[in-house]
Amino acid sequence: MPDVTQTYLSVEALTRQVLATPSRHVQLALVHVPGPSHAIETQPYLRISFNIGPNFEIDVEGPLGRQKMTCRRHSLMLIPPDLSVTHRASLPKPAGRAYTPVELATFRISRELLADCAMHLGLSEKHARIEHQVVESDEVLRPLAQALLAELRMGCPDGPLAAERIAAALLSCLLLRQARTGPTATADALARVLAHVEARLHIALSLDELAAVAGMSRFHFCRVFSAWQGVTPHQFIVARRIELAKQLLWAKPAGSGSSTSVLDVALACGFTSASHFSAQFKRHVGKTPVQWQRSRPGAD
Q: With left for phi above 0 and alpha for psi between -120 and 50, is residue 186 left, alpha or beta? A: alpha
- Which residues have C-beta within 8 Å of that of residue 197, sequence separation ≥ 6? 205, 210, 236, 237, 240
Distance, CA of 268 to chain centre: 34
With beta carbons less than 8 A apart as the criterion, state whether 168 and 189 touch.
no
Cis amide prior to 36 (ω within 30 degrees): yes
Per residue in 1-54, pLDDT (tens digit) is 233 333 333 334 678 899 999 999 999 999 987 666 677 889 999 999 999 998
Strand partners, 33: 102
- Positions in the chain short of pLDDT 70: 1-13, 34-37, 64, 90-99, 182-184, 253-259, 298-300
Amino acid 30: pLDDT = 95
Task: Find the farthest-apart pair of alpha carbons in the chain and give their distance in angstroms, rounded.
Answer: 87
60 HSE (CA, 13 A, CB side): 21
Amino acid 120: pLDDT = 86
Helix (H, G, I), strand (E, B) or coil at 105: strand
Q: Residues 236, 242, 245, 250: what is their CA dihedral angle, to the nearest 10 degrees?
A: -130
With beta carbons less than 8 A apart as the criterion, state whether 80 and 183 touch.
no
Amino acid 6: pLDDT = 34
With beta carbons less than 8 A apart as the criterion, state whether 49 and 137 touch.
no
Per residue in 69-78, pLDDT (tens digit) is 889 999 999 9
Amino acid 64: pLDDT = 65
With beta carbons less than 8 A apart as the criterion, state whether 46 and 111 touch.
yes
Strand partners, 88: 37, 59
